[in-house]
Amino acid sequence: MRTGRKVTPYLYILPALIIVICFRTIPILASFTASFADYDIGGFHGFVGFANYERMFTDARFWNSVSNTVFFVLGVVPAGIAIPLGLAMLLRGELRGKAIYRTIYFLPVVTSAVAVSVVWTWLFKPEAGPINGVITALGGDPLMWLREPRGIFEMMLSPLGIHPTGIFAGPSLALVSLMIVSVWKSIGYNTVLFLAGLENIPNTYYEAAKLDGAGKWGTFRHVTWPLLSPTTFYVLIMSTIASFQTFALVYVMTPPPGGGPLGTTNVIVFYLFQKAFDRFDIGYASAISVFLFVVLLALTIIQRRVGERRVHYS
Amino acid sequence: MKSGKILKQVLLLAGGVIMLMPFLWMISTSLEQGGLQNYVEAWTRVPFGTYFLNTLLVTSLTLIGVLITSSLAAYSFGTMEYPGRDKLFLLFLSTMMVPQPVYLAPSYVLLAKLGWVDTYLALIVPWTTNVFSIFLLRQHFMTLPKSLYEAARLDGCSRFGYLWRVALPLSKSVIATIMLFNVIGSWNSFMWPLVVTHSEKLRVLQVGLSYFNQEQSSNYQLLMAASTFSILPLLILFLFAQKHLVASYSRSGLKD
C-alpha cells in the first residue's frame, strides 16, 4: 500500500505524459536528428553531417522564402500594433456601443483561416471581385492582387521611370494582399490585449499628468506609451512569432504548387511543407524546421531578456 | 468634449464597417442568383455533411481527452509533492516552445510507422492532451486552500474524490476557458488534418472547404455559401460565450 501511494502522483500524469512524449518530444527530437540525415521517400539512408544545412544555405528558393517571410513579418507586425493600439485608445473607458464594437472587431479572430482565405480570395478576384469593383467605380485602375508578382515599390516607382529590382522591388502585391488579410484577422485579438494593458495603468498617473497641464498627445507620449510598453512588447513578439508561421493563408489564397505568382508568396513554413510532403524530402525539410525553430527561440529569449530589463513596468 | 465623442464614434463605426465588410460580401454573394438554393447546392455537391460529422467527432473526442488528461495531470502537478515533479512539468512546458510546423514531418513519419496515416486515430489521439490547458488548470488548483483538501479527506473523501467532487466543481471558469480554446483550436485546425488524412471520408471541414475552393474556384456563390455554413457553428458559439472568451484571451494572452 505504501509503494502504491508513492506511484499515485505519477499515475495521474501518465496519460498526458504518454501523449506528450510520443507526439511532441519524440517528433521534436526526431526533427533535429533527421536534419543530419538523408531521409526521403525510400526511408533512412544514413547520416550526412551538415549536408542538409549546406544545401539550405545555398538554396536560392529557400532564401526567397526567408525574404518573403521577413517582408511579411515587417508588414504585418507594425500594422498589427498601430491599428489595434489606436482602436484600444478609442474603445477605452465609457463608450456607447462598446460591446458591439468589440464583437465586430473580434469576429475574424474566431473565424477559421481557411474560410477567411476563401472569402478574401473572392474579394481580391481581379476580374469580378468586389474590391476591384469599388476601385473602378471610383475611377481607379483595377489591380491583379493575389496574382500580381511585381514588387509594390516597383509598381509605385515604375511610372516615374525608376525600376528597382530584387529585394528593392519590395514584396509582391500578392504578398501584400496576404498581409492585409493577416492584419485584418488579428486586429481584434491585439486590440483586446491593448485594452487590458490600458486598464492596468493606474488612474493616478493620468490625474498627475492633468495637474501638470499635459495635453492629449503629451499624456500619450509620456504616460500611456511608456506604461503600456510591456503589453506592446508582448504583442510585438507574439505577432512576430505567429507571422513567421503563416501557412493556411498562403496555401489557400495562392494555392499549390506555386506559392503565389513566381513564388512571391512562398514563405518558410509553406516551403517546408512542400519539401516534406510534395517531395517527401524529410531530411532537408527537417533542416528548414530547425532553422525556423532557432529563429523563433531567439525571439522568445529576446522577449524574456529585453522584456525584463528595458521595458517599463508600473 | 462633445465633438471628440462624435469623432470617436465615427472612427469606430468606419473601422467596424471595414471589419464587417468581408462577412457582408460573403453573405450577399452567397445569396446571389440561386438565393438559399446555393446553400443546398454547395452542401450536396461535395459531402459537406460528412466533413461536418468528422469535424464534430474530432472536436468532441479531442475535447474529452484534453479534459480528462489535463485535469489528472494538473491535479498531480498542482497539489501533490513528489520527486521529479518540477522536471516533468518543465518537460511538458518545453514542448509548448516548439511550434507545430517544426515537428510536422517527423510526426507524419511516426504516424506512418504506427499505421495511423489516414485514420481517425491520427486526427484525434495526438491532440488528446494540451499542455497549455494543463498549465491553466494547474495554476488554478494551486490557489485552492490546503485546508479544503484536508477537510475533504477527513470527511472520507478519496484523493480522486477530492478532484472530482471538490476541485473540478470549483474550477468551472477555467474549464470553460479550456473548452473554448480547444473547441476553436480543433474546429479551425487545418495543417495537421491536411497532412495526416487523404481519403474523402475522413476529411474535416477546413480541409474539405480548401479542396472545394480549388475545385470550384470560379463558382463564387457556392464558395461563399460553403464559407458561411462552415463559419456558422463557431460564430454562434462566439456570440453566446463572447464575454468569457474575450476575457480568457486577454487574461491568458495566448492565441491558438
Nearest residue to B113 via CA among A46, A22, A273: A22
Q: Locate cell 527537417: which residue?
A: A286
Question: What pLDDT score does A257 carry?
Answer: 65
Q: Is A95 helix (H, G, I), strand (E, B) or coil?
A: coil
Note the pLDDT tens digit of each residue in A133-162: 999 999 999 999 999 999 999 999 999 999
d(CA A17, CA A11): 10
Looking at every residue in chain B, the average pLDDT score rounds to 93
- Measured between CA atoms, the residue of chain A closest to residue B255 is A189
Chain A nearest C-alpha distance from B73 (Å): 4
Nearest to A104 among B16, B223, B235 (CB): B16
Question: What pLDDT score does A42 carry?
Answer: 85
ipTM: 0.93
* pTM greater than 0.90: yes
Question: What pLDDT score does B3 carry?
Answer: 80
pLDDT: is B4 or B200 the higher one?
B200
Nearest to A123 among B22, B100, B226 (CB): B22
CB contact under 8 A, B191 and A247: yes
Question: What pLDDT score does A309 carry?
Answer: 66
Beta carbons within 8 Å of A76's beta carbon, 6+ residues apart: A179, A182, A183, A186, A239, A243
Chain B nearest C-alpha distance from A162 (Å): 34
Tell me the residue ranges of DSSP E strands in B121-211: none
Chain B nearest C-alpha distance from A224 (Å): 18
Chain B nearest C-alpha distance from A307 (Å): 15
Looking at every residue in chain A, the average pLDDT score rounds to 91
pLDDT band at B1 (very low <50, low <70, confident <90, very high): low
pLDDT band at B255 (very low <50, low <70, confident <90, very high): very low
DSSP per position, A250-290: HHHHSTTTTSSGGGTT--HHHHHHIIIIIS--HHHHHHHHH
CB contact under 8 A, A241 and B131: no
pLDDT: is A165 or B116 the higher one?
B116
CB contact under 8 A, B19 and A286: no
Exposure string (b/e) for A188-225, b if CB count within 10 Å is 16 or more?
bbbbbbbbbbbeebeeebeeebeeeebeeeebbeebbe
Q: A50-309: which CATH topology?
A: MetI-like fold (1.10.3720)
Let me know if A93 is exposed, middle or buried by CB neighbors in 10 A (0-12, 13-18, 19+): exposed
B57 near B123, Cβ under 8 Å? no
Q: How many CB atoms lie within 10 A of CB B62?
A: 23
Question: What pLDDT score does B253 carry?
Answer: 56
CB contact under 8 A, A293 and B82: no
Best of A89, A105, A111 to disrupt the B interface by mutation (most B CBs within 10 Å)?
A: A111
Best of B246, B248, B251 to disrupt the A interface by mutation (most A CBs within 10 Å)?
A: B246
Nearest residue to A288 via CA among A47, A64, A41: A64
A16 near B69, Cβ under 8 Å? yes
Nearest residue to B246 via CA among A243, A275, A110: A110
B205 near B17, Cβ under 8 Å? no
B98 touches chain A (CB under 8 A): yes
A194 near A88, Cβ under 8 Å? yes
CB contact under 8 A, B238 and A106: yes
Q: Locate cell 468551472: which residue?
A: B172
Domain map of chain A by residue range?
50-309
- Which residues of chain B does A27 touch, with a Cβ-Cβ cutoff of 8 Å? 103, 106-107, 110
Q: Is A172 helix (H, G, I), strand (E, B) or coil?
A: strand
Mean pLDDT over A164-189 rounds to 94
pLDDT band at B254 (very low <50, low <70, confident <90, very high): very low
pLDDT band at A313 (very low <50, low <70, confident <90, very high): low
Chain A nearest C-alpha distance from B82 (Å): 7
Question: What pLDDT score does B136 carry?
Answer: 94
CB contact under 8 A, A115 and B231: yes
B27 touches chain A (CB under 8 A): no
Q: How many residues does chain A have?
A: 314
Question: What pLDDT score does A4 carry?
Answer: 55
pLDDT: is B74 or B5 the higher one?
B74
d(CA B127, CA B187): 12
B35 touches chain A (CB under 8 A): no
- Could you tell me how far CA A4 lies from the centroid of its own chain? 48
Domain B31-252 has CATH 1.10.357.10: no
pLDDT band at B218 (very low <50, low <70, confident <90, very high): confident
Nearest to B250 among A10, A196, A255 (CB): A196
- Could you tell me how far CA A11 lies from the centroid of its own chain? 38
- Measured between CA atoms, the residue of chain A closest to residue B242 is A103
